[in-house]
Amino acid sequence: MTDLWPAPYAPAPVSHTQTVPGSKSMTNRALILAALAQGESLIVGALRSRDTELMESALAAMGTHFAREGEEIRVTPSELQAAEVDCGLAGTVMRFVPPVAAFAQGPVLFDGDVQAKSRPMNTILDALRNLGVSVAGDTLPFTVHGTGSAPGGEVTIDASGSSQFVSGLLLAAPRFERGVKITHSGGTLPSMPHIEMTVDMLAQAGVRVQAEGNTWKVEPQPIQSNRWVIEPDLSNATPFLAAAAVTGGAVSVPHWPISTTQPGDVIRDILERMGCEVELVVTGPDHTLEVRGPQNGELCGIRIDMSDIGELTPTVAALAACASTPSELTGIAHLRGHETNRLEALTTELNRLGGNCEELPDGLRITPASLHGGTWYSYADHRMATAGAILGLVVEGVEVENIDTTSKTLPGFAQMWETMVGR
């Protein structure tokens, strides 16, 4: 039987303060860097979700030791060994861990969820082969035959499908005997803020990355141990801020960073452009983001290139479906290779509820239409599920299939959402 969650309907403006757990992107990068470091590291405020637990389990299977102490994780590196890795549906695990496996003493077998087997992997696996690593297979399941070391060198890749290919190579680059020089040869490189996050976190671990245009060079060097403090996950905060926007309410998110490399921070500009009041309130050492939706309940449509912020597309598409003027979201052709084909999925589900969404070669065109209740399918995609929840606030009778898929990055989402609406 299909698991359907009746999305809470909000007949009145939502007023709520929502604390958001740590960033998945920062947590998984910190886990990788801690596993490759020369000494013991501490990670404070790490997210606990399916994706981060899969990352921790992958590194633990290869020999890294993790000890939880309250809100902290103490990470002790060890000689890496042969292992079997379950990637689940986590892009960071399937793209970040294979370069690490090059330094294992023995084969590392990678497998994952059924949906993950269709996600593009050739870019990272061929890159590893060109860097002197033996790899068997081109999609999940595949095996990296680690020998404890790898030559490294120069590699040219087309990372237009995902910035994770660049980040995955960069995180392990200092361990290669000759370092790594990466050149992106394709078209638009999506999600550049995620590469900037990787470079910034490498710098915090004492690793210098020489970046120029679409080329990154890392000399062989030690990765230093560190105390990692993880920011709240700003992308996971966006559905709650969207709740203020669509209901004409007010939502606050504490501990919002003043300066960050997280792409989710761009939601502030998007909401302002769509008619919301947005303010980052600083009180002493802390800061809270406050969003108020338009009092008349009418959002403006938006035309925006989302190539750097593709992960926000489901949230912005839901906002656009509630707006009073048309929207165009472009620069996101790469979303066809995410957890699901997000462009096709969003088009199908919005139109299923009476919306008017047209799939473009590189995005979506959404025209205002009168929405009605019905089933919203998640496609085992956490951000599709939260998009359905946003629409359910203003459209009675929306039922989201498999809301529990949100545990991929935000366990307990459904309960948080129901608490916000007062259900």
Average pLDDT, the chain: 96
The counts of H helices and E strands in the chain are 12, 23
96-154 pLDDT tens trace: 999 999 999 999 999 999 988 888 799 999 999 999 999 999 999 999 999 999 999 99
Q: What is the DSSP pairing of strand 215-218 with strand 180-184? A: antiparallel
Edge-to-edge order in the sheet of strand 363-367: 303-305, 327-330, 363-367, 356-360
User: What would the two tokens of residue 172 be?
Assistant: 């392990």
Q: Is the pLDDT of residue 290 over 80?
A: yes
370-420 pLDDT tens trace: 999 999 999 999 999 999 999 999 999 999 999 999 999 999 999 999 999
C-beta separation of 60 from 66 below 8 A: yes
All structural domains of the chain: 4-22+232-421 (3.65.10.10), 24-229 (3.65.10.10)
| Residue showing tokens 């139109």 | 351
Q: Which residues are annotated as a binding site for phosphoenolpyruvate?
A: 24, 91, 119, 164, 342, 383, 408
Q: Which residues contact 302 (CB under 8 A, 6 or more apart)?
A: 270, 273, 274, 316, 319, 320, 323, 327, 328, 329
Identify whether 311 is a catalytic site residue: yes
**pTM for the structure as a whole:** 0.92
User: What would the two tokens of residue 156 be?
Assistant: 């040219």
Q: Is the pLDDT of residue 251 over 60?
A: yes
Which of 56, 311, 339, 349 is labelled catalytic? 311
- Cα(410)–Cα(51) distance, rounded to whole angstroms? 9
Q: According to the model, what pLDDT value does residue 2 have? A: 64
Q: Which residues are annotated as a binding site for 3-phosphoshikimate?
A: 24-25, 29, 162-164, 191, 311, 338
Indicate the length of the chain as a whole number.
423
